[in-house]
Every structure is written in C-alpha cells, then in structure tokens.
Structure 1
Amino acid sequence: MNEDLIAKYNVPTPRYTSYPPANYFHDKFTNEDYEKVVIASNETTPQNISFYIHIPFCRHLCHYCGCNSYPMAKPEIIEAYVEALKKEIRKVIPLISKDRKISQIHYGGGSPSSIPLHYIQEINELLLSQFECIDSPEIAIECHPGYLDENGWMQLIKAGFNRCSIGVQDFNPKVLKGVNRRPSLLEMETIFGLLRAFNVSINMDFIYGLPYQSVQSFEETLQKATALKPDRLVTFSYAHVPWVNKAMMILEKNGLPSPQEKSAMYNAAKRIISSKGYQPIGLDHFVLPDDDLSIALQSGQLHRNFQGYCTRKTTGQVYAFGVTGISQLSMAYSQNTKSIPEYIQKMNDGEFAIIKGYTLNREEQIAKEVITTLMCNDRLNWKELSAHIGVGESDIKNAISYDENKLADFEKDGIITYSPEEIKITQEGAIFVRNVAAAFDPLMKDNTKMYSKPV
C-alpha cells in the first residue's frame, strides 16, 4: 500500500454499520416514539423480521473490546435479565404484523454463550413460536470458544442454531494473553467436527492490529484458519477508541502496530485467504464462491446491518432486545438503556427501556441507501439504485454530497473508477471504501464526531 495514500486517507471516518452512525442518536427519542415506529414498520420494506438479542455478560473482558459488555453477574441477576428479555419480547411482538416472517435471529454481546444455555433455547422457542419463518432462515450466535466444552456446543445445536460465529481473534497465545482473552477450550478441529455433523455453518472471527501481532504471526494464524475451511472468515481491523473503553489504554502500553503494519496485515490476510478460494465481501468478510453472500455480491444484492452482512433475501428490519440493543427500522433507530438494573426494572414495570434513537428524514433515508449499497457491494449504479428505492437519479444525487471533483480525486489516487452511470471501488482501494462513503455523506460537512481510522 502506498504510504502517501495511507497518510492521506487514514483519517477518522465512520464505519457506516448504520446511517446515520450511532453517535447521532439523541435522547429526545422516547418510548412512545419507539412504539409508533414499530407499528409503522409493518407498512415499510423490507417486510422480513430480524430479531437481535443482546446478552451483555462476559466471564472476562477483553482489553480491545468496543462492544457493550459487562462482567459476569450472579446467577439470580442472569435469571432476572433473561426474564426481562422475555417480557420485552412479549411487549413488542403484538405490535408486529403476524403476516410477516422471520428471516434472521442473531445473538450478540458480550458473550452470549457465556450464560446457561437453556436460557438461550427458551428465548429461541419463544420467538419461533410467534411467527412463521422464510425458507432457511439464519439463526446465528456469537460464540466464545474459551468457555464452551463439547456439551455446550451440543446445547447450541439443540437450541436450533444453524450458524455459529467463533470469536478466535488470534491463535497466538502471546497475543491472546496481551489482550486478556482466553484461548479455545477445545481443539478447533473438534469444534468443527461437532458442528459439521449437524450441518451448522461456521464463521471464524479474527482481529488485526493488536499488540504483539506481526505480519508473519497473523499470516500463521490465517494459514491455520483456512486449513479448517470455515464457511466464512472475518478479519476485523482493531478500532482504537479509548474514549469508549478505557481498558484500550493498556494496549497502548503493550504497543500497537503502526498503520503501515496494519495495512500489511490486511494485505497479507487478503492474499492468503483469497489463495484458498475465498472471495472478499466488503471490508472484512471472506466467503466461498457458492456462499449466499458471494452470489448476492455478484448481483449487487448484498446488504448489511449491525449484525453483519446478509442477502436481500434474509434482510429484515431489526427488532432488538436487551440492554444497549439497537433496533434498525426503515425510518428510525432506537437503543435501549445501558443499565442492566434499569432495564430489568423497566421491563418489570411494563415499560420500554429506550434511552435514545433517531428518526430519518427523506434525504437521510436516501443517503442511507447510497452509502449502504456502496459499502456492501463496492459499486454504485445510479440506475439500479433508482429502480430499487423508487427515487430519480437526480433526486438521489441532490440528497447526498455528490461532488465530481472528489470523485476525480479518488480516481486519480486509484481508489475508484467512475463514469456518469457507475462508481466502482478498485481492489487496491477497498481498504478506503469508508472514505468514499463519507464523501457522499451530507452529515460529514460540519462533523465534529469522533471515529476510528480505516487502517
């Protein structure tokens, strides 16, 4: 990677897992607003339902984590939290049309697999008893392999999961110790054997840019990972945001790789994984050619929400449950309180626990489609997008920050190719897709928000 380009484009930029980003949410969005937008969501697209369940507890907190995680609580608190989750589900479900179908259920955290797993099965049974599902819905959970024995993996299979995302992060013991993460309890080959026997799809998640990592060590980790042939591989760039998690300051003391080293890790990862037959999807995912995400990318039908990439088929409006859970509806976002005691109390009182949210105006809804399409598919065809959202091409461009001079600059630097009809991210420019998306973002004109850097 050209060091001049890194210097030019490695500036704080939104990740665009949502538009607008979550730091635009505000506390004037109320419980009443949430109930109204849930009811209104029945009349908007997509019609599919995606449920997100947030389990905030972790047995150990990793120093790199920017998620909404909390130390493991006492058993009675875990039980009270799960009961509160069920109450929230039962409060929202009557607001959603029974004509709609579930396309996704996703558990995140925290470490969802850290609590007694019979609770997870109970929640799944509750959700699946209320709605029909599309053919082959995705029922997925993020798993910490450091605390799951053979019985634990079998319990997840029994609970109905057909996709497990295994948070490996790195196979190097020194790296794991430096970030306070436990290594896998079982050999990874054993885990794969258990899951494969029941046709469970397997994701493996890794992070680059951590202390004690080098290009060589990360290559070794990915060689081991690709030898296992998971269905999907994810290589996240470590986002250093110590204003979100003060524990990240510990990683500074241990020594973080430079942007140039991180760029070299990214390129090495892409080279190794691609050489094993995987296709890159967006910034950080790699899938096999027959994967649904690969097929969707070829047709420009790839989508993304807070839970990761999905196809148009499995895309649903997201209804989130639990502390900090963010619902992603067509017209609005809403987020629950971060306080576990407050959340439990609100549910016991029969109330919602919304702490903030955001309602999108027409222009922002258009910008959301533009940025999501570009971030997911590495290309933007104005005619196709116009047909998809039912808005004229000129109206789309008027709603965003469309600047020919900026596009020409990106093309000169080899980040994109473009014509009046279409913009494409180049292979070399993929790492800077966030910068291109930000160039279309009207909210970035007078922006004072804080973000991580692309590299």
Structure 2
Amino acid sequence: MVFLSPGVKFDLDTIKKYDTPAPRYTSYPPATELREGFTASDFETAIAASNQRKSPLSLYFHIPFCQSACYFCGCNTVISSNKKIAEPYVENLVREIKNTSASIDTDRKVLQIHWGGGTPNYLERAQVELLWKNITHCFSIDPQAEISIEINPRYIDKDYIFFLRDIGFNRISFGIQDFNPQVQAAINRVQPEEMLFNVMDWIKAAKFESVNVDLIYGLPYQTLQTFRETIKKTVELDPDRIVVFNFAYIPWLKPAQKNIPQEALPQPQEKLEILKMTIEELTNSQYAFIGMDHFAKSTDELAIAQRDRTLQRNFQGYTTHAETELFGFGATSISMLKDAYFQNYKQLKDYYQAVAKDILPISKGIKLTQNDIIRRDVIMGIMSHFQLYKQDINNKYHINFDEYFSSELQALQPLEADGLVSVSKNHIQITDVGRLLVRNIAVVFDTHYQTRDKQFSRAI
C-alpha cells in the first residue's frame, strides 16, 4: 500500500480485485436507463413541475462539429472540414432555445452555462454572437454565473480567445491528452507543445477566472516515463483544474478507435503505475484529488464545494451548484430535472425535423421514482463527498436508513472487510483506499445495475 497524498492510498492488490466495469454516475439513474417513448409533451409537463420548484438553472449547449476526428474520442460528434454544415444547426439551436425557454419561468436565475462538443470554437464569431444574444434574451443570467466553454487549441487564435472572454465566458477548458508527439500522432491529435503553452498564455492574458485541461492515460505508446513528462509540463501550464481520464478502448462502440494500434496500448500493470504516478505528482504539486479523475487547486470552487459538502455531479461531471436543474440544448443533449431526465435526438436530421415543427426534440427519457431520488442522493453523496450521514437521508425522506438499505449495508460488508469503506451507526465513510474505487462502492446502492447491460468503462 502506498500513501500518495492526504486522503488517497494506492493499494494495488485491492485495485486489481475491484477493477470491474461500473457507471461513472454523472447521473442516477445513469443515462443508459433513458428509454424511448417519452415525448415533448412529457418534457413540457416536467418543465411545469420544475417551475413550481423555482430551482435555479444550469444550461448546456451542445456543438457537435469537429474539423477532424480524434481516434480516442467517445463523444457524439460530426466530422467535417466544411463549416457551412454548422449554419442550419445554429438556426435550429436558436429555434430550440426560443421554444424551450418559452415554457420556463423567466424569474429563474441561470447560475451555470456550459458549451460543449464536439468543438464549440468550430463556430464563426457571428454564430457565437447569435447564440449568445438569444441565450441572454431568453434567460435571466445571474451576474456571478459560471459561464464555460470547451475549445480545441488546434483551431483557435488569440483574438478568438479574447472574443470569448469579452462576450461573457469566464471559464474555459481544452484538451491536451498527452504532450508526447508519438502519442499525439497515434490518436490523430497533433498539437505541438509551443501551441499549448501559447494558448494558455492567451487565456491568462484574457483573464479567464478558471482554466481546466484534460489528459488521458492508457493511450497508445504511453509509458510511465513519457506520461510523467506530460504531467510535469501540465503542471508548468498551471491550470486551475486537471481531469485525467482513463482511456476505454471500445472499438466495437466507437469505430474511430479501430485506427489505434491495439498492440501499442500500455499493459494493465503499466497503466496502473501511470495512474499511481499521476496522482502522486499532481497531489505533490498542490492539486487536491477531488474524486475519480478530477484534480483542482485547493482554492478552486470544486475543492471548496467538496469541503462544504455542496459538490454534485451532472452530465458534465462535477459541479459546484447542486441546487440547479439542468436544461440541455442541441442534438444529443440531456436535460436533468429533479424527477425526470430527457435526451434530444442524436441524429441531426431527426433533431432538425422536430425543431422545424416547433416540437421540443425529445427522443427518450426517464421518470424517476421516489426510490430513484433517494438512491440518487445516497450515490451522489458517496461520489462527491466520500461520505454520507444517514440522518441526513432519514430527515429528508422520512425513512429509517438502516431498514431501507438493509440489503445494501449487508452488501457493503465485504468491501468494508477489504478496507474500502467504514460503516458506523450514523455514518458511511469512504476510506483513503476506497477513494479510487468509489464507483464500486456507489454501485451497491444502484438497483438498476443488476438488470443493466454492463457497457461501462472499468473503474480504474
């Protein structure tokens, strides 16, 4: 067992034992539970109930386009070098914003906005301005709102970055994946070191309030030493947040991954050593281990929210505003209300057809039961805070935790014996060993898991 930092221990034998597929729990129930048969009318009914709760809002806008394919990518994207393909999409997205927002009370404040993709900076400035104009016209944006955007550093310049800051974005994220040229070539994502440092310099000069960068471990040709160099260079960039994703090689689901030479992927043992080194290097560089694959400076909102037990997860990962309800716009986007989730059509033609008829473009969804809602609070508490106070659940839902979850508490006993979790009369505490395997602990409370097709990435 190796102590990597305060709050994290790396026990190789335990990790190997529990390195099994499990949901990432960006929601509960996970998005895999969404089913066809839900309609725009169902969504409108859910919005009306949401208005009664008067919860503040989080908004997500999906821009699916990329100029070239990254072979590792698992996102819903449309690859085209012809940017005219975005013109009808922006027109339909504006129309969807108007149609959906008409059903949402205007006095509900927006606390978070995120543009993801794909590549949001695929859009021309005029298209960004058009979308932004409609968003600010249709919604009441809190002056202190977190407004973030993902960018691809290969297709951006200094002027575009300053333009994003001037229009209102105050947080920004970009993917590095790996600094090594051989790795970059193998995943079709070549971005020289100088480019990445220039982009970060421009972002800092534009005075963005927070910068996130993404890395991936487990890519072809990565070794312990080459990824150590990537970590060191990433720390030199000095981002506020770092996400280190585990690469899931699933070419049967993501055909672009067939371009990756499987024999060049690091072996499981080396992959674990890379993870261990990554946690050690980042935590020694003053980045707090938030959970799963997220790291943040101790002064960052994520770290503060975790300490205050206000951290939550949604379809974008960890979020600092647990009180918000999420509305998603654009193809494939997901709206996450208190008691129902809805997803838009994935295919552009289906999305366009629905919007053209002024119908909310819903393809599937799920209505949460009270049992789902209770279990969501338990799972999100475990995933976000590494602990749970039973009395909080008792008071909120008027249940007896030990009786309600009697079978789950019994199922936790082997995990407790292996040192992943500590269960007391009043409290469930994830141990320092269990933090890296928190998905395996959360899954105990997931009643959908046993009947679900387990197409999930491994926990580590």
Give the TM interval when normalised to the shorter protein.
Answer: over 0.9
Alignment partner, residue 145 of structure 1: 153
Q: How far apart in 2 are the matches of 1:5 and 1:140?
A: 37
Alignment partner, residue 345 of structure 1: 353
Q: How far apart in 1 are the matches of 2:355 and 2:402?
A: 44
Q: How far apart in 2 are the matches of 1:19 and 1:66?
A: 20
Matched, 1:181 2:186: no
Contact 2:69 2:79 in 1 (8 A): yes
Contact 2:389 2:427 in 1 (8 A): yes
Give the SS at the match of 1:449: coil
2:288 aligned residue (279, 294, 300): 279
Alignment partner, residue 262 of structure 1: 271
Alignment partner, residue 202 of structure 1: 211
Matched, 1:155 2:155: no
Matched, 1:324 2:324: no
Structure 1 stretches of 5 or more lacking a match?
A: none
Q: How far apart in 1 are the matches of 2:451 and 2:202?
A: 52
Which residue identity lines up with residue 47 of structure 2 in the other structure?
V
Cα shift at 1:113: 1.3
Cα deviation per residue 1:295-348 (whole Å; 9 max; x = unaligned)?
1111211111111212237x5211111110111111111111111122122212
1:103 aligned residue (111, 116, 119): 111
Deviates most, 271-280 or 336-345: 336-345
Q: CA RMSD in A?
A: 2.0
1:426 aligned residue (427, 431, 435): 431
Cα deviation per residue 1:72-111 (whole Å; 9 max; x = unaligned)?
2644431110000000000011111112100111011111
Residues 240-389 of structure 1 mapped to structure 2, 5 A cutoff: 240-251=249-260, 253-312=262-321, 315-387=323-395
Q: How far apart in 1 are the matches of 2:329 and 2:387?
A: 33
Evaluate the alpha carbon distance shift between residue 398 and residue 248 of structure 1 in structure 2; reply closer, same or farther with a 3 A threshold.
farther
Give the SS at the match of 1:86: helix
Matched, 1:454 2:441: no
Q: How far apart in 1 are the matches of 2:116 and 2:372?
A: 27
Tell me the TM-score normalised to structure 1 length: 0.94
Give the SS at the match of 1:120: helix
1:170 aligned residue (150, 153, 178): 178
Tell me the TM-score normalised to structure 2 length: 0.93
Q: How far apart in 2 are the matches of 1:412 and 1:256?
A: 34
Give the SS at the match of 1:414: coil
2:37 aligned residue (25, 28, 32): 28
Alignment partner, residue 392 of structure 1: 398
Evaluate the alpha carbon distance shift between residue 240 and residue 43 of structure 1 in structure 2; reply closer, same or farther with a 3 A threshold.
farther
Deviates most, 302-311 or 343-352: 343-352
Contact 1:400 1:442 in 2 (8 A): no
Alignment partner, residue 67 of structure 2: 59
Deviates most, 343-352 or 226-235: 343-352
Cα shift at 1:186: 5.7
Give the SS at the match of 1:403: helix
Q: How far apart in 2 are the matches of 1:316 and 1:176?
A: 37
Alignment partner, residue 242 of structure 2: 233
Structure 2 stretches of 5 or more lacking a match?
A: 1-9
1:126 aligned residue (134, 147, 151): 134
Alignment partner, residue 78 of structure 2: 70
Q: How far apart in 2 are the matches of 1:343 and 1:404?
A: 44
Deviates most, 57-66 or 406-415: 406-415
Evaluate the alpha carbon distance shift between residue 399 and residue 341 of structure 1 in structure 2; reply closer, same or farther with a 3 A threshold.
farther
Alignment partner, residue 49 of structure 1: 57
Q: How far apart in 2 are the matches of 1:251 and 1:415?
A: 35
Which residue identity lines up with residue 288 of structure 2 in the other structure?
Q
Q: How far apart in 1 are the matches of 2:99 and 2:403?
A: 40
